[in-house]
A and B are shown apart, each in its own frame.
Chain A
């Protein structure tokens, strides 16, 4: 158990819909990262938050957004969903240290039908 929690574990929805994925980092970790993992794309970095502020952006679509709340949990919002958005979405947290070692949650498997 990494100490990072994600809900829900599975999510099935239809094209055009909007969903919210939730992540709680390890106690004491200020940084939260979101990744998308699909079969043909590997682990793709989406966005990073540090203590409530956006720190870095990766290959995140405009239809996707995220935020980190004062209690440090984070939410990833996916809207106008397309079939190609079906993937595993992982959240990770870290102490903002020298090596930035990350601890991953169990992921949310999103299926868009």
Chain B
């Protein structure tokens, strides 16, 4: 059983469309991170959300942490081809050397 479930697994949309991807768990977390990974590159940290209900914006990307701190969403407005990539959510496991556990990711393709 995955600690973090991301959905959808794959998403292919046209430029200009809006989209939302999700990261869910049955556990409560103190914080959650979102990363984007482009083909052949390492993941890049986008944002860390900490407070239940928190909303953070990064240009056209809006991140929300659920009120109960068990889920998070990433909404992209007017997607562009440059948004193409693998979007990963991650949580810090307090009991294992503070390592991060990653979800399987959502592979987003934005077609021009």
Contact = CB atoms under 8 A, between A and B. Distances in A.
B42 A100 contact: no
Interface residues of A, number: 26
B42 to A, nearest CB: 3
Contact of B99 (A33, A42, A90, A103): A33
B11 interface: no
A48 B31 contact: no
A104 B88 CA distance: 13
A48 B93 CA distance: 13
A101 B42 contact: no
Interface in A93-110: 96, 98-107, 109
Interface stretch (B20-28, B55-63, B100-108): B100-108
B78 interface: no
A42 B9 CA distance: 12
B3 to A, nearest CB: 11
Contacts of A2: 42, 44
Interface in A31-82: 33, 42-43, 45, 48, 50, 55-56, 58
A96 B98 contact: yes
A48 B99 contact: yes
Given A43-B88, A43-B102, A45-B99, A107 B42 contact: yes
Given A99-B48, A99-B50, A101-B48, A50 B43 contact: no
21 contacts: A2-B44, A4-B42, A33-B99, A42-B102, A45-B102, A55-B99, A58-B99, A92-B42, A96-B98, A98-B31, A99-B33, A99-B48, A100-B99, A100-B100, A101-B45, A101-B48, A102-B43, A102-B45, A103-B45, A104-B42, A107-B41
